[in-house]
Each structure stands twice: as structure tokens, then as C-alpha cells.
Structure 1
Amino acid sequence: MNERKFIFLLIILLEFIILIQCSIDVNKNKETVQKLFGENKEINEVTISNENNNNNNNKNNNNLAIKCHNGIFIGKKSKDNVISYKGIPYAKPPIGELRWKEPILAEESNKTFEAYYFGKSPIQTEFPSELGSYYPQMIVFFHGGSYGWGGTSDPLYDGNNLIKKYHDVILITVEYREGLLGFIDFTSVPGGEDYKTSGNLGLLDCICALEWIQKNISNFGGDPTTITIMGESAGGGIVSLLPIITKSLKREGLFKRMIGQSGSINLTYSKKECQKLTELLLEKTNKSDMKGLLSLTEKELIEINKEISEYNNFPERDGILLPEDLYETYETGQVTQGIDLLVGSNKDEVRYWIKEMEYEVKFFKGQFTYEHAFPILYENDLKKLNKNKEDQERVKLFINSMNDKKIWKITEFYNEIIFRLPMIKQAEFHSKHGGHAFVYQWNYSGEDEILGACHGIELSSIFNNLSITTYTGNRTNQKLANEVQDMWINFARQGNPSTSQNQWGEYDIHERNVMILDETFKQEKNLKEDQRILLEPLLKYYMNGCYRQLSMNVPQIYKIGAQLIGTLFIFIFGIVGIIYSIFYMKNQYRRIKNETII
């Protein structure tokens, strides 16, 4: 068997294992979020009165009516006296001729609509241009989901428990186009010249939402000059990228402050990395140009998106909306001028993917798959350094500096290079030009010691939804949650997260203050300084965790192949041994029986 055939067989075996591991709960979680939506209907004055008595426990539903430029929206009041407005459209539905086009602000209207239900998730429908708002409330939140799934209807982001504590805060959660609808490059497709910004439509949706907010938020009692944008994971990436895009489009002034949790400018793709999704779409649809793609029905798009959603793109460094070198853009200090910045990451970010790989699946534990699959990504990323011996040495020194199993060394490498260091660099560039920057690290771990303080674990604490234990298990801390909520709200109010209990110093190149969020709070200077100095030069490679175009010609594949072949031989020999033993025992029985008869 030649080398090429051998590698091909190993790829099949490996993909079979990974597909078994990654195809159950992950899809189940996505489907759960998709189902948590409703349909807001146009209503009349008679209906308003009836809905008031049935749904809102309020004598005059007109008290919950808010006039916006695109209609009158009727909200709901919860038992905690939190008034919510959900599923308000901020843009024209991007369907028909508007599919894969830049968003257009919703048209003027005097019609009256329900605002009772969150809008559909973009991977469920082509009507994602909606937002959910809690009133009275100034924070605009962008959800995560790897730019391919997720939605405002996720119970983890429910704002009721947060807003009932802070009555002067406006919380708005925004839907944006994801996956095939929001981040796909058509420049190589015939007819694609009219879709030059299709690789970043989801980001443009977020800008459109902010423009809607600027136009209407005063009707909710909000101040459009003090808006804080906030996001986690992909949402943190959006928050980090919006200052760049708003500057390039000359749309500055849409927000005053930004909170980026576990997401940065590093979570982006090059044009080359974005091509795989385009190729897959053309292949699966058997289309060859934009005319053919536009002929696809909504139902067909939904099914195709489900099929290839694991190949979704990150925002594209397209040279139009986003430059190739995002760090250089941040370094100028111009894009974040006049904006206050709060960013941070979790101590064990990457261990989240142990759970994502089915930590409790009956076939293999997620840790088993993680330990075998993650080194493939690592060895592919090392190939990017082939022409730079100095950078190769940096990685080697980092790995050798830790006394642990290799998989946990690799994990820490990605905690640094994907999450912590890019955010640190953003804060450093911002502070160099006189900007106010605050940095944190979340250290409080959940019940599962292997997952530790993984990606997303802080969300239930920040939204005061500790009953949602997706990442925490049964290990939660209300005291920690209360203090962190105060910090985030204080930052949104005044640009400083300090509380009466904890003074939080700004991050700059001299102090490098980092607030450690744990059972006890403490501020550290120069956190993991040696690691930062060693790995910072590698940020230029944009190691973003992209696993869609991995080469299988790496040592880990051969290692897995040898293990699989060895296991297969042991299995075969075991079966042969069992069969031999059965025949041997059967012959022995016959011999003893014959001797007894004689």
C-alpha cells in the first residue's frame, strides 16, 4: 500500500470517530435554541385590550406600547416587573433580491405589532434582522455560536434576572445573519462581483441594529450617546471588529463602550480560509453561479446549512471591510479612540471543546476524542512556522516550559494564542493612545474538573441565570456572580468596573493590571508575563482554531493509524483466540466423553 492510500484510509477512520463524537448533543443544543422562538403578529386596538388582560396582567396595554420609526411595538411585563420587547425588526428581511446583500434599515411604519417573542434564529430562517429588548434598561449584547449558530432566544441570555436588579439599564440582544447567510465569500463565483461584502454580512447586520438603536432608543428611555456593546465568543469577536468597520464606513459614534468576553480580532479568516465553505455550497447544491444560488428556496438553504454548518466561516479579512492586518489597525489607536474597553478570557477556554466533542457520549468520552484530534490542529498550525526557525523555537520553549501531559500543554498553548493574548494586545494598543482599558481572567471553574474554567462558563453568572448549568454543572457561586454583575454594570454606566469591594486598575504597558475573577478577587500585574513575551510574536499567524482545511499528513495521524491498526490486530487475535478456545474446549469435552463411555 502506497503512502497516499495509507493516509486516505487513516483519514476515513479518524473522520468516522470524530463524526460519531460530534454529531449528537451539539446538534441537539442548536435545535433547542432554534425552537425557542415565536411569531409576533400585527395587532389592532381591540386585540391590544384583550392581549393586555390575558398576557401582561396590566390594565392598560397601551402603557406597554413604544413608538419606533418602523412601528408601534407592544411589550410584556414579567412577574418581576421587567418589561420586555422581543423580536423587533431592525432591517428589511434579507430575502429574495436582498439575499446575501448588505442590510437595509427597516422602513417607516405606523402599524402596531406584538413584541412578545424572540425572532427566529438565522439558521432556522431567512428573517434574522430582529432584536430583543428589556425595558427599562444601555447594553447591546451579541451572542456567540462560532458565527454559525446560536440566537437571542437561548435561555442563557435571558435578561429578566439581570434587569430586575438594575432598573436603570437597557439590555438589547441582537440577531445577525450566521453561517451560509452571514459569512460566505462569493468573489470566486460567477456573478459574485455584486456581493463583495458577503463575507461579513453578519457584522453589517450588527451595525444596522446599532443604527436602529440610535434612531429609537430614546423612546425606551435610553441615552444613545452612552451605549455599551458587549459580546461573548463570536459576539466578543464582533465587539472587537465593530470599531474597525464603523471607522472604515465612517459610521463612528454608534457606541461609547465595549465589553469583549472570550473573543477578539483573532477570530477571523483569511480569504483563502473562507473558500472551503463556498466550494461546499456549490458542490452540495450543484450550482455554478450566483443566479443558481439565488434560485434556491429557503427550505433548501436551511437543509444545506444544517448539512455543512460545521464548516461555517468566521468574519473575513477581505480587504474591503476588514484589512488583512487587524493588529496593525488597532495599533494606530484611531479605531477605538474615545471608546472605553473591557476585555478578558477564561483560564481554561479550550477545554470547552472536550464537552463539544461529546464528553458523556456512550461510544467514547469527549476527552478521548479531544486528546487524539486536537494535536492534529496543533501540528497543522506548526506547519505555518516552517519558514521561521525563531518562531518554531518559541513554540518549543513554551511547550517544554510546562510539566504536564502533552495534550494539556497544547491546550494551554491555544488558551494563550487563540484567546488571551489577542485580547491583551487589543488592550495594550488601546491604552498606548490614552484609552481606558480593563482586563480580566475568569478562574472560577465548574463542577467538572477536566473542563475547568472553560469557554462560556461565565455567562450564567453575568446574566444572573445560575440555574442554567450547561457549563458550570452544580458548582456555582452567587456571591461571585453578584460582584461581577456590579462590575459589568458599573463599566456600562461610567466606564470603570470598580466596585466598593474591589478597585480595578486600568491595563497599560507599565502596570498590566489583570483582575482575577474567582472565589476571591485579586488584581495581578504582568500575569503570565513570560508566556506573553514568548508567544506574542506568533499573533501574526492568526491561529484561530480553523479545522476545516487540515492536512492529514501530520505525525498525529500516523500515530492514530498505528493505534487503530494495533487495536484492530489485538481485536482480531482476541476473536481468533476465543474461537480457538471454543473449539479446543469442545474437542476436550468430546474426548472426555468418549473415554468415559469406553
Structure 2
Amino acid sequence: SYSSAGIFSSGKKTTSEDCLYLNIWTPNYNDTSDITSKNLPVYFWIYGGRFEGGSGDVLTYDGTGLAAKDIIVVTINYRLGPFGFLAHPELSAESGHNSSGNYGILDQQAALRWVHENIANFGGNASQITVGGQSAGSASALDSMWSPLNEGLVAGVISESGARGPHDPMTGSAATSHRTKVAAEAQGIEFLKELNVTSIKELRTTVSMETLLEYDSLSDTIFEGTQFANASAFFMEPPMWRPNIDGYVFPHDYTQSLLLDAHADVPILTGNNKDESGAEPDPGLTASTYNTLYQEVFQNFSEEFFKLYPGDSTSQANNNSNALYRDMSRIGTWQWALAWAEGGAKSPVYTYYFTRSPAENRGEGAYHGSELWYTFNNIPYSDYSNVTWYPYDYEVEEYMSNYWANFIRTGNPNGDGLPHFPPSTETKQTMWLGDSWGAGPISASEERIEFIKSWFATMPEW
């Protein structure tokens, strides 16, 4: 059974660095005499959890349902917290490539290489591996395109709750943001001081794994001293333990990678859920708190903000707080796709906006991760299989899993019997999935789109 962590937890309480195992689901082969000739597409899944928790054996990621659609599903594990992302000058010096702090990413890459070399023995096509993930796993899936160490291994990327424009402050609050190597090593130095040790050697010999695990949930204070400092309920700090631009695993940040054409040019499927990234069914705001909060957040932009998103009553404040964050999600992802094309990438980006509340807890809306049962074709296999799902949930599951399976097969989610899913273009639309199906607007008005774009343009790259 699950622990209280729910969708991202396997319910296990143990943690170990001896974690480099993976799970493989295949279709039920009637004839196993020549498995290597089947050449089925492969879905390589990276779990989320802020780079501090999670597991490849979570029932939410059970691959049985997708495997039934002739997809090979692989889920992996990788090191987390300080074990996966501690950077330090001493670690960089001993590495042989003057870098440190991306050990969790190197684990993912080692698993990807293993799959590339061995998946034919399970009926998979090594040249047709789509890397997917959600939340921190979504960041990792996107990261798989930027690293030269993955050259030739990635055929497509699925990024669920992932791709947002670099100037979108929600990028800063998520695991999709990156640290510089200098910042990561400086944090490592301070971390050793916190542990009262003076060197990596002393850390290895005197500090227990259990003690290190007490520090696996640290947050980075990048919003300290900014207009977002008092808006932590909506703009949460990113995890401190996350990837860094180390010059080896990641030579460049997102913008530089686009400018230099230093990335895999592969099809991408990415999007967000209705009730995440600050939006929720009941934000619990009053008109007073709404106006105080967003006056501070938007500062010189606040006059225009309140014209477009007024909060003169409690209901209006809550509705427009949600409208803001949902607009930011759709616009931020649309801008990411636009930058991808403007940077010279030829492969399409398909963006979506998921709106269905799952049976497991409908009161929380289409929350962070709620799409996973549907995309994995997983309702019968999850530990919520005993919950009463509506007949329409199974229709959503069939549509969503078919879109995902088609993309894994071809790099295009479209297929027979499905509403048309257009690729992202300059047209200000995204694909709405769940309670309705079809291309829909990224905001209710052109004025809101231009406002959000103008505000984003004043932000640093997060």
C-alpha cells in the first residue's frame, strides 16, 4: 500500500544507494522464438519527487497497460538528495572531468545506455526509445536532450508538468530549474559546514547514510529578497538538490543549448495540469490577501494586473488567482515550444492542458500527477483500482494512453479514432485533454497573454 506520499511513493521506508535496478514490462508474447525481431518502441520512464524521493516501483507507473498496446515500458531508479546531487570542489577535482553534483542524472544515463544495449533481448527497438517523466522526472526527460552523453540514445521526449519558458518564475520554483556549477559547489561547501566536517574524505568516513538522509529535503533560497519571497504558497522554492550546469553532463543551459543547436532534435510532448503550479480548486484567499499578495508580486505591473485579474470579492479573488496560474502554465509552455522552433529545431512540440479530476480524490481537481493513471492506461493496475471510477474515466484513459502510445511509436500523438492533436505553432493554442478534447486557447484574452509575456520578459532566466 502507499504511504502518505501517495502518487509518488511505493510505500517503502528504506533508502539505499544500491538502487540501480530497473523494471521492464513487455506484451504477452505468443511466440518467444525470435523476440529480438519484434522491434517494439520503448518508453523509458523517470519518476518524479523533487529529486528527493520516489521510486521506479510505484504502482502508478505499472507498465502493464501500456505494454498491452505493444510498447516496452522501462522504469528506473536513480540516486536522490545529497547522494545524487551534492556538488563540491573536492568531488569535482577527483572526477576526471572537473564536475560534480549530477550523479542522479549519470545514473539515469547509465540506465538509458543499458536499455539501448540490451532492450532487443526483450523485443524492443534500441533506436526507438522515448524518454518520459513527470515533475522532477519531467525535468530529467528534458535534460536527456541537452546532455552530449546521451547522443544518439533519445528518439523522443514526454515531459509531464515540465517544459516552461526560462523567464517564467514557475520554472524557478520547480525542479526544472538548474544551478550553476559555482552555486552548486558553494552550496556543497556550506552543507559540509552544516555537518561539521571539513572534507569529503571526512564526510565519507564519519557521517552515516541516515544522517545524510535527514537533509534530503532542503530548498534553495533563490527567491529570497525578490518579490516572490512572501508568496511561498504559490512560488515555492526549488529543491537544493537538483542538476547543475557542470560543463560535462550539461555544458550549457537551455537558452545556450538552443542558440548553439547543442541538443537532440526530437519530437516532444509536454504540458500541464489544471490544478497545479499555484492553481487549486479552493485557494482560500480573501479580497484583501489577494490584493496585498499580488501588489507585491507584480509591483510596477500591478495596475495592469488588477485590471485584467481583479479581486474585488472573495469569489473573484479566488477565481482570478487560479486564472493567473493557469494562464502562466499554458503561456509558459507555449513560449517554450516557440523558443524551440525559433532556435532552429525541426521536430514538432505537442503541448497539452489536462483538466480531468481522477476518482482517487476528485475534490483536489486535476492536481500535480493526476494524469498518470490515464497516460499509463493504469486504472486496473494501480492501488486505486478499488476506487469507484466513472465510465468516462475509462474513456479518458483510452484516449490519453492512445495519444501517448502513438507518440512513443511515431513521434506524433495522432491516430485513428482520436480528436486531432495539433503541434504547437505561433497560434496561441494548446490541446485541451480530459473533460474536453481539442485545441483551445492559452488564455481567455489576448490582453492577458501580452501582459504575461511582458511580465515574463522582465524576469531573469530561472
TM-score normalised by length of structure 2: 0.74
Q: Give 5+ residue unaligned stretches, structure 1.
A: 1-24, 36-122, 355-365, 545-598
Cα distance in structure 2, aligned partners of 1:424 and 1:352: 18
- Does the CA-based 8 Å contact 2:86-2:188 persist in structure 1? yes
Once the two structures are aligned, what percentage of the paired residues are identical?
Answer: 21
Cα distance in structure 1, aligned partners of 2:115 and 2:304: 46
Cα distance in structure 1, aligned partners of 2:377 and 2:371: 10
Aligned residue number for residue 438 of structure 1: 350
Are 1:194 and 2:94 matched, yes or no?
Answer: yes
Deviation at 1:526, TM superposition (A): 5.3
Q: Give 5+ residue unaligned stretches, structure 2.
A: 28-39, 165-170, 220-238
Aligned residue number for residue 533 of structure 1: 450
Give the 3 Å change call, closer, same or farther, for CA 399–288 of structure 1 in structure 2.
Answer: farther
Instruction: Give the AA of the match of 2:80.
Output: E
Cα distance in structure 2, aligned partners of 1:394 and 1:205: 47
Cα distance in structure 1, aligned partners of 2:190 and 2:308: 37
Aligned residue number for residue 233 of structure 2: none
TM-score normalised by length of structure 1: 0.58
Are 1:330 and 2:249 matched, yes or no?
Answer: no
Are 1:172 and 2:172 matched, yes or no?
Answer: no
Are 1:261 and 2:239 matched, yes or no?
Answer: no
Give the 3 Å change call, closer, same or farther, for CA 240–518 of structure 1 in structure 2.
Answer: same
Aligned residue number for residue 114 of structure 2: 212
Are 1:488 and 2:404 matched, yes or no?
Answer: yes
1:536-575 residue pairs with structure 2 within 5 A?
536-539=453-456, 541=459
Are 1:346 and 2:259 matched, yes or no?
Answer: no
Cα distance in structure 1, aligned partners of 2:119 and 2:209: 34
Aligned residue number for residue 156 of structure 1: 60
Give the 3 Å change call, closer, same or farther, for CA 526–126 of structure 1 in structure 2.
Answer: closer
Cα distance in structure 1, aligned partners of 2:310 and 2:260: 35
Match of 2:217 among 287, 306, 309: 309
Deviation at 1:342, TM superposition (A): 1.0
Cα distance in structure 1, aligned partners of 2:383 and 2:450: 36
State the Cα RMSD in Å.
Answer: 4.0
Match of 2:421 among 482, 491, 504: 504
**SS where residue 466 of structure 1 aligns?**
coil
- Does the CA-based 8 Å contact 1:33-1:153 persist in structure 2? no
Instruction: Give the AA of the match of 1:155.
Output: L
- Does the CA-based 8 Å contact 1:349-1:454 persist in structure 2? yes
1:88-487 residue pairs with structure 2 within 5 A?
124-136=15-27, 138-163=42-67, 165-166=68-69, 168-187=70-89, 193-194=93-94, 196-246=98-148, 249=149, 251-264=150-163, 266=171, 267-271=176-180, 274=184, 278=188, 281-296=191-206, 300-311=208-219, 312-313=239-240, 315-318=242-245, 320=247, 321-322=249-250, 325-330=253-258, 334-337=262-265, 339-350=266-277, 382=297, 389=300, 399-400=309-310, 404=315, 406=317, 409-417=320-328, 419-432=329-342, 433=344, 434-446=346-358, 451-466=364-379, 468=382, 477-487=393-403
- Does the CA-based 8 Å contact 2:105-2:243 persist in structure 1? no
- Does the CA-based 8 Å contact 1:239-1:260 persist in structure 2? yes
Number of residue pairs matched? 403
Larger Rg: 1
Pick the structure with more helix per residue: 1
**SS where residue 214 of structure 2 aligns?**
helix
Give the 3 Å change call, closer, same or farther, for CA 491–191 of structure 1 in structure 2.
Answer: closer
Deviation string, structure 1 residues 523-570 (Cα, Å, up to 9, x no partner): 2255556344322355574687xxxxxxxxxxxxxxxxxxxxxxxxxx
- Higher relative CO (Cα under 8 Å, sequence separation at least 6) belongs to 2
Cα distance in structure 2, aligned partners of 1:309 and 1:184: 13
Cα distance in structure 2, aligned partners of 1:130 and 1:177: 11
Match of 1:519 among 423, 432, 435: 435
Are 1:33 and 2:11 matched, yes or no?
Answer: yes
Cα distance in structure 2, aligned partners of 1:347 and 1:33: 27
- Does the CA-based 8 Å contact 1:507-1:513 persist in structure 2? yes
Cα distance in structure 2, aligned partners of 1:243 and 1:31: 27
